[in-house]
Amino acid sequence: MDKPEIVPLHVSFIMDGNGRWARQRGKDRIFGHFEGVESVRAVMEASVEWGIKYVSFFAFSEENWNRPETEVLGLMDLMFRSLRNELKTFLDNGIRFRVLGDLSRVSQRLKDEIKHMEDATAGGQNMTAIIFFSYSGKWDIRQAAQRMAVEGGSDIADYLITAGIPDPDLLIRTSGEERISNYMLWQLAYTEFVFTPTLWPDFRKEQYLDALREYASRDRRFGKVK
Ligand code: IPE
Ligand code: IPE
Ligand code: MG
């Protein structure tokens, strides 16, 4: 398969449409989430192959806590088991893994697993893979502003949970919805957006390449005159 002509530094995904994918097949929504994990794997593999340095995924939003309890528990369990399964892949591919969000709401068991994965992969040099979990953009700005007020800093970017991570160059949202849904509000200031009708479980390497081609055709001006 072809390679992208321009490789962004940081590509981020709003993985949407898992529930609809499952319902279309007459299955429970959780099957869509299971299949969605396969898409995460495919996107990570392609990203390493293409030399993308940062790839991030919105996996669970602050608002997603308001879903039915069975779905929330199912997603927590899926996160736990996916982490366990992927450790070897991360280590073999030199991937540094991070989870960003308000983890005070997450069980101790899952928190411990996240910490274990982050520590074990801390030396990964090829790519950083980030999962935004129990995250919202407004929460991030709120916690940053509070810490900045206490510590007396001057650049809010230093206090956001993404401090040290370059802002996304490209944001891809699947499932046809064209909104940010309280994702990185500050960090997306100059990000290029690609919206695709493909449901997340159907989003694989080929669709990823299409989105990168679309990105390559964009003219990023950052407010300047070219
Ligand atoms: C995205 O798929 C995954 C999460 C938000 C956890 P959805 O679960 O939102 O699927 P749809 O949008 O209902 O189809
Ligand atoms: C956005 O998807 C959040 C994640 C992908 C984790 P949602 O399905 O929760 O967004 P809305 O409700 O359609 O805006
Ligand atoms: Mg959705």
Query: Is residue 97 helix, strand or coil?
Result: strand
Who lines ligand 1 at CB under 6 A? 15-20, 60, 64, 75, 175
Length of the chain: 226
What is the structure's pLDDT at 56?
A: 99
Pocket test for ligand 2, best of 43, 177, 179 (most atoms within 8 A of CB): 177
Q: Which domains does the chain have, with CATH numbers?
A: 10-136+169-216 (3.40.1180.10)
Q: Are 100 and 131 in contact (CB under 8 A)?
A: yes
User: Which pLDDT score is estimated for 1?
Assistant: 63
| pTM to 2 decimal places | 0.98
**Is residue 79 a contact partner of residue 59, using CB atoms and an 8 Å limit?**
yes
Q: Give the residue numbers marked as catalytic.
A: 16, 64
List all residues whose CB is within 6 A of at least one atom of ligand 2: 14-16, 58-61, 64, 177, 179, 181
Query: From CA 46, how far away is CA 28, in angstroms rounded?
Result: 29
Residue nearest atom 1 in ligand 2 by C-alpha distance: 181
Q: Which atom of ligand 1 is nearest to the CA of 23?
A: 14
The three state secondary structure string of 130-167 is: EEEEEECHHHHHHHHHHHHHHHCCCCHHHCCCCCCCCC
pLDDT by residue for the chain (226 residues), tens only, comes to 689 999 999 999 999 999 999 999 999 999 999 999 999 999 999 999 999 999 999 999 999 999 999 999 999 999 999 999 999 999 999 999 999 999 999 999 999 999 999 999 999 999 999 999 999 999 999 999 999 999 999 999 999 999 999 999 999 999 999 999 999 999 999 999 999 999 999 999 999 999 999 999 999 999 999 8
Q: Mutate which of 13, 14, 15, 16 to test ligand 1's pocket (most atoms within 8 Å of Cβ)?
A: 16
